[in-house]
Amino acid sequence: MRLKETFEVVILIFKNWLGDLAGAWVFYTILPQWPLIKPRFKRIARFAPLIGIFIGCLQSFTWFLLSYFKWPNISAALISIAISICITGGLHIDGLMDTADGIGAGSSRQLEAMKDSRVGALGVQSLVIILILQIATIIKLGFYAPLAFPLAAFWGRTSQIFAIGSYKYIVYKESSSLHQKYWQGISKEIRPSLVIICLGIIFFMFSTNFNISNSLLLIYCILSGLITSILIPYFLNKSLGGHNGDSYGAGLVITETTNLLILSIILVPN
The Cα–Cα gap between 207 and 114 comes to 45
Q: 10 and 130, same structural domain?
A: no
Q: 120 and 84, same structural domain?
A: yes
How many domains is the chain built from?
2
Q: 220 and 134, same structural domain?
A: yes
Q: 83 and 38, same structural domain?
A: no
Q: 257 and 179, same structural domain?
A: yes
Q: 99 and 33, same structural domain?
A: no
Averaged pLDDT, 238-246: 91
Q: 244 and 185, same structural domain?
A: yes
Q: 99 and 19, same structural domain?
A: no
Is-contact 30 88, C-beta < 8 A?
Answer: yes
Q: 116 and 62, same structural domain?
A: yes
pLDDT in tens, 53-65: 999 999 999 999 9
The Cα–Cα gap between 67 and 139 comes to 13
Q: 136 and 189, same structural domain?
A: yes
The Cα–Cα gap between 107 and 218 comes to 40
Phi and psi at residue 38, to the nearest 5°:
-80, 120
The Cα–Cα gap between 257 and 31 comes to 23
Whether the pLDDT of residue 108 is over 80: the answer is: no
pLDDT in tens, 147-198: 999 999 999 999 999 999 999 988 755 555 677 778 888 999 999 999 999 9
Model pLDDT, residue 106: 81
| Cα 229 to Cα 24, 115, 235, distances in angstroms | 19, 25, 11
Is-contact 233 45, C-beta < 8 A?
Answer: no
The Cα–Cα gap between 201 and 205 comes to 6
Structure confidence at residue 96 as a pLDDT band (50, 70, 90)? very high
Residues spanned by the domain of 4: 1-42
pTM score, whole prediction: 0.92
